[in-house]
Amino acid sequence: MQTIPTITNKDIKNKSEKFLAALQTAKALQSDLEAFWQLIEDEMKNHSIQSIKGSWGSLSIAERKNWKATNLPPRFYKQTLDTARLNSMYKLGDKLPEGASFTTSQYLSKRIK
C-alpha cells in the first residue's frame, strides 16, 4: 500500500513562488513577442512588403474595414439575436421563448499583472 505524501505550507509557498516567477517570465516574454510582431509589421509597411512566405509559414499585411454609420435606410441593417435579454430571462428563471437554446463552454481566463 502506497502512502500519501504530506504537503506542508513550506511546499505550497515554494510552488507558489515558482508559479509566480513563471507567470512573470511569461508576461515578459509576451510583451517582447508583441513588440517583435509590431516591429515586423512596421518594417513590412515601411518597405511596402505585402507578404513573406517560407517553410515556417507566412506573414501578410491584411486590411479590415470597420464601418460606422448613423441614420442609414433600414435596408442596411439586419436583425440580430438579443442575447442580453435571453441571458436576463434565463437568470431570472423566466420561461425562454420557443426555439431559444444555448450551449456553454469552459476556458482558462488569464489575468496577469
* pLDDT at residue number 46: 93
In sequence order, the 6+-apart residues with CB closer than 8 A to the CB of 3 are none
* SS3 assignment, position 84: helix
Q: What average pLDDT does the segment 11-36 reach?
A: 87
Q: Range with the lowest mean pLDDT among 30-34, 39-43, 102-106? A: 102-106
* pLDDT at residue number 83: 84
- DSSP class per residue in 12-67: HHHHHHHHHHHHHHHHHHHHHHHHHHHHHHHHHHHTT--EEEETTEEEE-------
* pLDDT at residue number 105: 81
* pLDDT at residue number 69: 75
Inform me whether the pLDDT recorded for 19 exceeds 70.
yes
Instruction: Look up cell 435579454; give the residue.
Output: 85
Contact 51, 60 (CB under 8 A): yes
